Amino acid sequence: MIEAQLSFVAEAVGGERSGADVLISGVSIDSRTAGNRQLFIPIAGETFDGHAFVKDALARGCVAFLWERHRPLPAALRDDPHVLVESGVDALQALATAYRVQCNARVIGVTGSNGKTTTKDMLATVLQKRFKTAATVGNLNNEFGLPLSILAWSKNTEVAILEMGMRGPGQIAALCRIAQPDIGAITLIGEAHLELLGSRSAIADAKWELVEALPKGSFAVLPDDEPLLKRAPPTGVRVITFGESEQADVRVSAYESRGVGGAQFVLDPPGCVVQLAAPGIHLARNGALVYAIARELGMADEVIVEALGSYVSSAGRQALEELAPGVLLIDDAYNASPTSMARALEVLRDMPHKKKLAVLGDMREIGEPEAEKHVALGESLAAFGVTQLMAIGCHSAAMERGARQAKIADVEIFASAQEAVERVVQNVQCAHAARSDIVILVKASRAVGLECVSTALREAFAALKGE
């Protein structure tokens, strides 16, 4: 993490220092988690103003703070080390940029409509086999999270992977001004945030801001099968493509799902056979993207392949968990769009379990007509072998309508995740008691909160084991 004198902070953010030139170790914007010797940066939000919690942060061990100069500074805080700034947010970002330059790490920016966090985690799993590697924690990928991720790097970091989120034009460009990426990667262009940007073309424009920010001599890794990304890169920036077509620079071929045994595929060139712990063609494609970057950074094929095989999905991101013999949970509750929903359903389809329960919630921000898209989702379920649907949220009735049109008779709908929890657990436990093997897919947009369903299933079966 950043360790610097307060004078360095003041110079980096263009602020006015007052009080002792203390050494700060780390940065916090949340007084509840502020720690020893940190710098506290108060952020004025819609609900809370961090300036009201500076005293709490100091009590928890922070040694200095920033303060927006247009706000009266309370007398009780005037003797504590601080820096007056124009904007807390701008200062946080400026400090991150200064530290990024000081670290001199090779920075990889990752964006895309789906798969950003998975790709970032997979990249970290591979690159740490050779380099001192840092990566975004969780999905801290916005104007607050990205600078905090940078400020958490060790000073001897060699390669840093930064996830870049987007909710509108210009946002990735702003993140790139902070992070100054050396390498860029776009996973895919999908429907996430379609409601906000209006078209996939506009989404592609926003994602392309990452490529536009790359310096001469760098490279971008892009999906070969996305026409919206068939553009001329900036002068001096190479493009490396990945995908399943013969034209891709790194091609996924001979893909074979092995259900609970993961998946196998070949990367061409160089013809390496890759074993993944989880199935899904999208994971294989992510693996091709990761291979392209690792190879360019000089890693050996055998090291890359072995590391890809060791990658394990994190909770909520298509994590496979055997709750009991014959009971498999596919926890993909973190987010959903039509594209990612289809990929998750493919994984469900490939599982050998006779009973396939889909616990699905709303897909948000996917653009109009939302109801019709949820009907289409319901209609598609039979093709993926779904035997039972438990639909949750505003569009649960639309999913039910589509599922019944597809001749799926066992359908239940719920207004909220909390309303559904008990019934889902009861249903799965009954199947287990009847010795019926069952696989459960839990997936929805983050706002639906389906993680409570996954948690309840884990707890219920853990309790059974303890009896």
Q: What is the mean pLDDT of residues 261-276?
A: 95
Q: Per CATH, is 319-466 categorized as 3.90.190.20?
A: yes
- Kindly state the percentage of the chain with pLDDT values over 70: 100
Residue numbers belonging to the annotated binding site: 112-118
Q: Residue 60, SS3? A: coil
- What pLDDT band is residue 357 in, cutting at 50, 70 and 90? very high
Q: What is the mean pLDDT of residues 430-440?
A: 96
DSSP 327-386: EEEEEETT---HHHHHHHHHHHHTS--SEEEEEEEPPPS--S-HHHHHHHHHHHGGGGT-
| Average pLDDT of every residue of the chain | 96
Q: What is the mean pLDDT of residues 400-421?
A: 97
Please check the confidence at residue 97 and state whether its pLDDT lies above 70.
Answer: yes
Amino acid code (one letter) for 392? I
Backbone angles phi, psi at 226, to 5 degrees: -110, 100
pLDDT score, position 466 = 67
Only one residue has tokens 């001192």, namely 132
Rounded to two decimals, the pTM is 0.92
Please check the confidence at residue 465 and state whether its pLDDT lies above 90.
Answer: no
In the sheet with 319-324, reading across from the earlier edge strand, the strands are 319-324, 327-332, 438-443, 355-361, 388-392, 411-414
Please check the confidence at residue 164 and state whether its pLDDT lies above 90.
Answer: yes
Identify the residue with better confidence: 467 or 162.
162
Q: What is the mean pLDDT of residues 405-429?
A: 97
Residue numbers belonging to the annotated binding site for ATP: 112-118
Please check the confidence at residue 82 and state whether its pLDDT lies above 80.
Answer: yes
Give CA–CA dist 281/250, Å, rounded: 14
Give CA–CA dist 13/92, Å, rounded: 8
Q: What is the mean pLDDT of residues 1-27?
A: 98
Please check the confidence at residue 303 and state whether its pLDDT lies above 70.
Answer: yes
pLDDT score, position 315 = 81
- What pLDDT band is residue 314 in, cutting at 50, 70 and 90? confident
Give CA–CA dist 378/67, Å, rounded: 52
For the chain, what are the domain ranges?
A: 3-88, 104-247+283-303, 319-466
Contacts of 12 by beta carbon, 8 Å cutoff, 6+ apart = 94, 95, 97, 98, 99
Cα angle 448, 345, 306; round to 5: 105
Please check the confidence at residue 368 and state whether its pLDDT lies above 90.
Answer: no
pLDDT score, position 98 = 98
Q: What is the mean pLDDT of residues 215-221?
A: 98
Please check the confidence at residue 59 and state whether its pLDDT lies above 90.
Answer: yes
CATH code of the region 104-247+283-303: 3.40.1190.10
Give CA–CA dist 198/217, Å, rounded: 34
Only one residue has tokens 């920010």, namely 213
Q: What is the mean pLDDT of residues 110-135?
A: 96
DSSP state, residue 16: E
Asked if residues 39 and 54 have their Cβ atoms less than 8 Å apart, the reply is no
pLDDT score, position 467 = 55
Cα atoms in the 13 Å half-sphere on the side-chain side of 274: 36
Asked if residues 337 and 366 have their Cβ atoms less than 8 Å apart, the reply is yes
pLDDT score, position 409 = 94
Give CA–CA dist 12/400, Å, rounded: 56
Q: What is the mean pLDDT of residues 434-457?
A: 96
Please check the confidence at residue 306 and state whether its pLDDT lies above 60.
Answer: yes
Give CA–CA dist 344/225, Å, rounded: 20
User: For the chain, what is the largest distance between any 2 Cα atoms, rounded to a whole number of angstroms?
Assistant: 73
Q: Per CATH, is 3-88 categorized as 3.30.2310.20?
A: no
Give CA–CA dist 428/313, Å, rounded: 23
Tokens of 88: 């807390």
